[in-house]
Amino acid sequence: MSTTLITRIGSLVTNDPGVGDGSPLGLLRDAAVVVEGERIAWVGPADRAPDADQVFDAQGRAGLPGFVDSHSHLVFAGDRTEEFAARMSGRPYAAGGIRTTVAATRAATDPELEANLVRYLGEALRQGTTTFETKSGYGLTVADEERALRIAARHTDEVTYLGAHVVAPEYADDPAAYVALVTGPMLDACAPHARWVDVFCERGAFDADQARAVLTAGAARGLVPRVHANQLGHGPGVQLAVETGAASADHCTYLSEADVAALAAGDTVATLLPGAEFSTRAEWPDARRLWDAGVTVALSTDCNPGSSFTSSVPFCIALAVRDMGLTPGEAVWAATAGGARALRREDVGRIAPGAYADLLLLDAPSHVHLAYRPGVPLVSQVWRRGARKV
């Protein structure tokens, strides 16, 4: 395999506390990275770098791991422009808007859905996202959920079955029958294409008993739980996530002391999605409270057409710093290593020998500029699995 030396990196975030400044970021100055095939072979000071077949001069730019976007909804059709405009005029956000996207998604062809997915993946890659998770949830029939996951699985290993997004309109008067569908024939069709099972445990969606049934059935088919939890108000979602051993509880906007304590004591990652709060004018999650309590925090986009139509992790980093109490370094860690933990991955989200060679360079001297210069397209080069993509 050929090797590439990326050298003269002014400031490199490795997320390896054993190198550099010894912090969780493992910040290394005047650094270099050697890539061999899809993996990182060496990391260290530029003046000690080994020879390689090719050399790329970073010219003092900051480097960091590729972003790990551990929560998105990218298999859909249509948009909800009018709903967004109405919210900006004062109408509150509610889970029921999902049904608008369901109608458009059901009407779309497979090629249309896949083209839309590829479009947003390209957007995300140009902004530094090298690993992403995405969900079904906009079909809500056996055939439409299965095809969403089948399409997604052609582009990522991190595929989530979310038949329990909301109750399908055909079952509005019989939610128990819909839960039976989600945990029976729909699960049978979808499980072969997915790694994860998710449920929207929220008012207007599924209560604790219904959500537990969905997660238990998914786990019995080998899918690992995730939970949309505590977005619209205090509720049972976080406690259910910890109880079921979920990899992540996502949103975590409204938390009790008991919720924070449960997250701190368990292995469930709190995935925060500031794009949703920005788009719905909701209360910001208190990331500082979670971080100080010892909870593992991830940052993700929640890219979807209704409540967070952004594919930009840098934008979410800036929001987390400005409005959620994280430092720039903590926000970058949450968007890289934190996202990897939410996906139970050790081969992404860090720059260390053996990890995938997923990294990016900024047109800036420090990762701090991601929050310091919000809205500026700072990502200048992106490598994914050793191949330069941007």
Q: What are the tens digits of pLDDT across the range 203-236?
A: 999 999 999 999 999 999 999 999 999 999 999 9
| pLDDT for residue 19 is more than 80 | yes
| pLDDT higher than 90, residue 94 | no
The encoded tokens of residue 201 equal: 């445990």
379-384 and 359-362: which strand pairing?
antiparallel
Question: Looking at the whole model, is its pTM more than 0.95?
Answer: yes
For 335, the token pair is 């968007």
Q: What is the dihedral of CA 204, 75, 313, 246, to 10 degrees?
A: 60
Q: Is there a contact between 55 and 118 (Cβ–Cβ < 8 Å)?
A: no
Residue 325 DSSP one-character state? -
Q: Locate the DSSP E strands across 25-150.
A: 28-36, 39-45, 54-57, 62-65, 67-69, 129-135
Q: How confident is the model at residue 167 (pLDDT cuts 50, 70, 90)?
A: very high
Average pLDDT, the chain: 97
Distance of CA 218 to the CA centre of its chain: 20
User: Looking at this protein, which amino acid is placed at residue 356?
Assistant: Y
Contact by Cβ (8 Å): 386, 377: no
Kindly list the distances between the CA atom of residue 263 and the CA atoms of 133, 283, 331, 339, 378, in Å, as whole numbers in the listed order. 21, 20, 18, 16, 34
Q: Where are the alpha helices (DSSP H) in 41-141?
A: 81-88, 98-107, 110-126
Higher pLDDT, 98 or 175: 175
CA distance 357 to 234: 40
Instruction: With beta carbons less than 8 A apart as the criterion, state whether 80 and 97 touch.
Output: yes
| Per-residue confidence (pLDDT) for residue 82, from 0 to 100 | 87
Distance CA 315, CA 317 (A): 5
The whole-number average pLDDT for the span 351-379 is: 98
**In the predicted structure, residue 95 carries a pLDDT above the cut 70:** no
Report d(CA 196, CA 241) in Å as an integer: 13
* Contact of 85 with 329, CB cutoff 8 Å: no
Cα–Cα distances (Å) from 39 to 53, 218, 287, 353, 388, in that order, read: 15, 33, 32, 7, 13
Residue indicated by tokens 């209360």? 283
Q: For residue 360, how far is the Cα from the chain centroid? A: 17
Instruction: Please tell me the predicted confidence (pLDDT) of residue 189.
Output: 98
CA-to-CA dists, residue 337 to 43, 68, 105, 191, 343, angstroms: 17, 8, 33, 27, 10
